[in-house]
C-alpha cells in the first residue's frame, strides 16, 4: 500500500509500505484521515513515544474491506483498551494501563491506504453521512469528553456557564460545538490565526477573538485549553473565575504557565483530559450523524500524497482550516 511515513524531524515520505496483517481484526480501506496536533508534535520530533520511522494518523473513517463487518462504512475509535481491568469496567477505559493508540508503537497509524483495527473499535456510519464528516468523530470526542468532565466539576450547572475555549482547531472548535449543543449561552474562542478566526466564527454562535490583542473575557466559569502551551495556561488561569475550572486537553508543552498561587487562593480546579471513553466516542459519533454538532463543513481536504506539504503548512501557521483531512 501507499503510506505517508514519518522518517525523522519534519520529514514525511509518501512511499510503498507493507500492507497491515489484520489477523482477527477488520481491514479498513481508509477514506479520510485527519492531521492532529499530536501528529504535528511527533512530526516536529518532540514526541519520544512516536519514534521514526512510523506511520502517524489516528483520526480515521473508511470502509471495511476484510474481516468482521466487511462492506460497512465506519468511523474508527483509535484507542484500544483491554476492556477487562477495573479502570475499563468503571467507564474510564481511556485510562486503561494497557491502552494503545494507533500511530504509536506497537500500532501503526492511518496515513495510509489500509488500516487493521479490532472490530469493537468501529462505529458504523449511517447512509447519507459522508466519511469526511464521520472522520471528525475523533477530535470532536475529545471535546465531548472534556465537557462531560467539566459538568461534574462545575457548580452551578454548565447550562448557565460563561465559557472560554482556547484554540480554534478541531478539538477546541469541537468543544465549543459541544458546549453550544448543551445550551451554554456564552462561548468565547481564543484563536491567534486571523484566517481561522473567520472560519471558526462561521461555525457557530461564538465570540471569537485574538488573545494576542488582549481583549478576552474575564471571570469565566470554565476554560477549555485545547492548545496546552505555557501562554495558553497562563491565559486560562487568569481568565477563570474563583471556584471555576480549567479543562486541559492540549499537549503543547509539558510544564509551566499556570498561576498556581491564584489557583490556590481562588480554589480553581484544573483537570487534565486525554481522548475519550468508548461511550464518549459513540455518543459523539451519534451527535455528528444526527446533525447535533452543526454542519461540520470547516475541514479542508487534501490528497494523502501531498501530506508532507500539509504538515509544513500547519507547522508554519499557514493553514486556516481548523482541521486538514487527508485522502489516500
| Rounded-to-integer distance, Cα 285 and Cα 298, Å | 17
The CB-of-122 to its own copies minimum distance in angstroms stands at 25
Contact residue for its own copies among 121, 233, 235, 314 (CB under 8 A): 233
- Which sign does the torsion angle of CA 142, 143, 146, 151 carry? negative
Instruction: Report the run of H or E that residue 6 belongs to, with start and end.
Output: strand 2-8
If binding is defined by CB under 8 A, does position 48 make contact with its own copies?
no
State which of positions 143-162 bind its own copies (CB under 8 A): 149, 153, 155-156
**Nearest CB to its own copies, comparing residues 97 and 130:** 97
3-state helix/strand/coil string of 173-238: HHHHHHHHHCCCCEEEEECCCHHHHHHHHHCCCCEEECHHHCCCCCCEEEEEECCCCHHHHHHHHH
Residues that contact its own copies, how many (by CB under 8 A): 39
195 lies in the site for its own copies, by CB under 8 A: no
Least separation, in Å, of the C-beta of 264 and its own copies?
4
Of 191, 226, 228, the residue nearest 212 (C-alpha): 191
Give the nearer residue to its own copies in terms of CB position, either 63 or 253. 253
Interface with its own copies in residues 251-270 (CB under 8 A): 251, 253-261, 263-270
Which residue number, 109 or 328, has a Cβ lying nearer to its own copies? 109
Contacts of 181 (CB under 8 A, 6+ apart): 287, 292, 293
The whole-angstrom separation of Cα 207 and Cα 229 is 22
95 contacts its own copies (rule: CB under 8 A): yes
Q: Which is closer to its own copies, CB of 51 or CB of 160? A: 160
Q: Rounded to the nearest whole angstrom, what is the least distance from the CB of residue 140 to its own copies in the complex?
A: 18
DSSP, collapsed to helix, strand or coil, labels residue 61 as strand
Binding site for its own copies (CB under 8 A): 87, 90, 92, 94-95, 97, 149, 153, 155-156, 228, 233, 242-243, 248-251, 253-261, 263-274
Amino acid at each position: 500500500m501507499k503510506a505517508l511515513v514519518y522518517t525523522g524531524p519534519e520529514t514525511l515520505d509518501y512511499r510503498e509500505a507493507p500492507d497491515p496483517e489484520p489477523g482477527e481484526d477488520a481491514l479498513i480501506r481508509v477514506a479520510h484521515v485527519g492531521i492532529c496536533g499530536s501528529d504535528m508534535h511527533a512530526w516536529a520530533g518532540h514526541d519520544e513515544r512516536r519514534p521514526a520511522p512510523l506511520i502517524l494518523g489516528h483520526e480515521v473513517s473508511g470502509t471495511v474491506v476484510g474481516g468482521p463487518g466487511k462492506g460497512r462504512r465506519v468511523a474508527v475509535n483509535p484507542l484500544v483498551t483491554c476492556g477487562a481491568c477495573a479502570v475499563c469496567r468503571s467507564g474510564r477505559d481511556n485510562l486503561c494501563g494497557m491502552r494503545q493508540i494507533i500511530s504509536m508503537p506497537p500500532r501503526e497509524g492511518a496515513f495510509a491506504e489500509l488500516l487493521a483495527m479490532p472490530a469493537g473499535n468501529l462505529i458504523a456510519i449511517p447512509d447519507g453521512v459522508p466519511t469526511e464528516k464521520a472522520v471528525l468523530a475523533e477530535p470532536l470526542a475529545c471535546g465531548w469528553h472534556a465537557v462531560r468532565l467539566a459538568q461534574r466539576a462545575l457548580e452551578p450547572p454548565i447550562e448557565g456557564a460563561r465559557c472560554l475555549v482556547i484554540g480554534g482547531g478541531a478539538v477546541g472548535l469541537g468543544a465549543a460545538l459541544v458546549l453550544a449543543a448543551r445550551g451554554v449561552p456564552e462561548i468565547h474562542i481564543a484563536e491567534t490565526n486571523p484566517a481561522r478566526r473567520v472560519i471558526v466564527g462561521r461555525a457557530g454562535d461564538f465570540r471569537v477573538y485574538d488573545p494576542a490583542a488582549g481583549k478576552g473575557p474575564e471571570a469565566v466559569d470554565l476554560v477549555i485549553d485545547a492548545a496546552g502551551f505555557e501562554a495558553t495556561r497562563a491565559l486560562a488561569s487568569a481568565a477563570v473565575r474563583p471556584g471555576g475550572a480549567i479543562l486541559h486537553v492540549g499537549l503543547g508543552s509539558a510544564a509551566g504557565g499556570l498561576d498556581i498561587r491564584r489557583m490556590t487562593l481562588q480554589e480553581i480546579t484544573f483537570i487534565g483530559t486525554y481522548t475519550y471513553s468508548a461511550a464518549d466516542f459513540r455518543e459523539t459519533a451519534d451527535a455528528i450523524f444526527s446533525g447535533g454538532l452543526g454542519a461540520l463543513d470547516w475541514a479542508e481536504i487534501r490528497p494523502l500524497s501531498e501530506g508532507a506539504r500539509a504538515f509544513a503548512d500547519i507547522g508554519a501557521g499557514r493553514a486556516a482550516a481548523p482541521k486538514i483531512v487527508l485522502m489516500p
